[in-house]
A and B are shown apart, each in its own frame.
Chain A
Amino acid sequence: QQQVKQSPQSLIVQKGGISIINCAYENTAFDYFPWYQQFPGKGPALLIAIRPDVSEKKEGRFTISFNKSAKQFSLHIMDSQPGDSATYFCAANYGQNFVFGPGTRLSVLP
Chain B
Amino acid sequence: KAGVTQTPRYLIKTRGQQVTLSCSPISGHRSVSWYQQTPGQGLQFLFEYFSETQRNKGNFPGRFSGRQFSNSRSEMNVSTLELGDSALYLCASGIADSQFFGPGTRLTVL
Contact = CB atoms under 8 A, between A and B. Distances in A.
Contacts of B66: none
Size range of the chain B interface in the assembly: 20 to 34
B103 A42 contact: yes
Interface in A1-52: 31-32, 34, 36, 42-46, 49
Given A96-B50, A98-B45, A46 B90 contact: no
A94 B42 CA distance: 20
A34 B33 CA distance: 16
B97 A95 contact: yes
Interface in A43-78: 43-46, 49
Where chain B touches its partner, the secondary structure class is: strand
A97 B101 contact: no
Contacts of A34: 98-99
Size range of the chain A interface in the assembly: 20 to 34
20 contacts: A31-B97, A32-B97, A32-B98, A42-B104, A43-B90, A44-B43, A44-B101, A46-B98, A46-B100, A89-B42, A93-B97, A94-B97, A96-B31, A96-B55, A96-B99, A97-B56, A98-B33, A98-B99, A100-B43, A101-B42
Interface of A: 31-32, 34, 36, 42-46, 49, 89, 93-103
Interface of B: 4, 31, 33, 42-43, 45, 48, 50, 55-56, 90, 92, 94, 97-104
